[in-house]
């Protein structure tokens, strides 16, 4: 059965993470997803991929792991995801501990959505190299998996390099939380099959994911992987669209919520919850 979640930029001017998480769990949603931007360079040299002016929530959002930690403390069943974590901007040893800590505190409810990022100046402020971002992301994720799964972990790569270390806690989920790649480039599928556990594309008008789903299935087969999950970020709430996505093989649909006060967000959640009830 398909799962339904909600996502929002948890900003300083919107409904706060604790109330949002309680509302999501009370309405029967399976998961809650928060994005990440540590900051937005004021130069605004890199254009917004959405084709419009960059919405202000991009530089008003809470740290996702702080926000998800707050959500974890008041919920029992709600899965807690990053949509997406900008791995390129984070130290892999610190990120491994943050995610493992959240997984333990939440009782094993974490999903790690990841991406390589699009804002050149933002990642350069963190010392990351835009043209090598995918190589860096790959090494960081492989290193994180070593830390999650080995009592004594070490990693030696071009961009990530450390001798044997101890790092606890380990995640509750065996092998660590599921890692979902939020990318739609041609090489996404081989990357997912190599070092991720699922695909999380972003919905856009008139999108046809038929070719993408086939490419994922081909890549997982070539890599000898079992069936990898597919979550759709920013899903349509139209019931005909939902049925098509379910037929295509999507396991999870994530509805978007605006970064707005409770008076705007809660009625929209009620609307989505009603759709979920009818679809089930």
Strands of 19-148, DSSP E: 31-34, 79-86, 110-115
> What is the predicted pLDDT for the residue at 205?
76
Report whether pLDDT(207) > 90.
Answer: no
Distance CA 215, CA 219 (A): 6
Q: What is the pTM of this model?
A: 0.97
Distance CA 84, CA 38 (A): 12
Query: How far is CA 133 from each of CA 75, 89, 110, rounded to the nearest angstrom?
Result: 35, 10, 24
pLDDT tens profile 15-64: 999 999 999 999 999 999 999 999 999 999 999 998 899 999 999 999 99
pLDDT tens profile 115-163: 999 999 999 999 999 999 999 999 999 999 999 999 999 999 999 999 9
Distance CA 245, CA 225 (A): 22
Question: Could you tell me the pLDDT band of residue 275, with boundaries at 50, 70 and 90?
Answer: very high
Full set of structural domains in the chain with CATH: 3-279 (3.20.20.30)
pLDDT tens profile 218-265: 999 999 999 999 999 999 999 999 999 999 999 999 999 999 999 999
> What is the predicted pLDDT for the residue at 113?
98
Report whether pLDDT(206) > 90.
Answer: no
* 14 contacts 262 by C-beta, under 8 angstroms: no
Torsion of CA 89, 94, 96, 98, to 10 degrees: -100
pLDDT tens profile 67-118: 999 999 999 999 999 999 999 999 999 999 999 999 999 999 999 999 999 9
Distance CA 142, CA 129 (A): 18
> What is the predicted pLDDT for the residue at 51?
86
DSSP per position, 127-140: T--GGGHHHHHHHH
> What is the predicted pLDDT for the residue at 82?
98
| Surface-to-core class of residue 123, CB atoms within 10 Å of its CB (0-12 exposed, 13-18 middle, 19+ buried) | buried
Distance CA 127, CA 137 (A): 13
């Amino acid at each position: 059965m398909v799962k339904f979640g909600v996502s929002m930029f948890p900003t300083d001017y919107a409904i706060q993470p604790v109330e949002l998480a309680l509302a999501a769990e009370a309405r029967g949603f399976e998961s809650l997803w928060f994005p990440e931007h540590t900051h937005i360079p004021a130069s605004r040299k890199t254009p917004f991929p959405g084709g419009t002016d960059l919405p202000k929530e991009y530089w008003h959002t809470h740290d996702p792991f702080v926000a998800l930690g707050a959500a974890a403390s008041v919920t029992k069943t709600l899965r807690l995801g990053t949509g997406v974590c900008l791995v390129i901007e984070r130290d892999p040893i610190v990120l491994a501990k943050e995610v493992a800590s959240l997984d333990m505190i939440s009782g094993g409810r974490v999903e790690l959505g990841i991406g390589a990022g699009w804002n050149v100046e933002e990642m350069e402020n963190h010392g990351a190299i835009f043209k090598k971002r995918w190589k860096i992301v790959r090494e960081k994720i492989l290193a994180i998996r070593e830390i999650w799964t080995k009592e004594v972990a070490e990693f030696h790569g071009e961009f990530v390099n450390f001798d044997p270390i101890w790092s606890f806690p380990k995640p509750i989920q065996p092998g660590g939380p599921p890692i979902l790649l939020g990318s739609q480039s041609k090489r996404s599928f081989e990357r997912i099959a190599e070092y991720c556990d699922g695909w999380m594309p972003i919905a856009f008008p008139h999108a046809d994911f038929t070719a993408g789903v086939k490419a994922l299935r081909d890549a997982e087969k070539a890599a000898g992987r079992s069936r990898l999950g597919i979550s759709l970020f920013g899903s349509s709430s139209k019931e005909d669209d939902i049925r098509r996505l379910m037929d295509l093989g999507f396991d999870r649909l994530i509805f978007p919520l605006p970064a707005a006060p409770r008076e705007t967000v809660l009625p929209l959640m009620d609307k989505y919850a009603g759709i979920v009830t009818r679809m089930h």
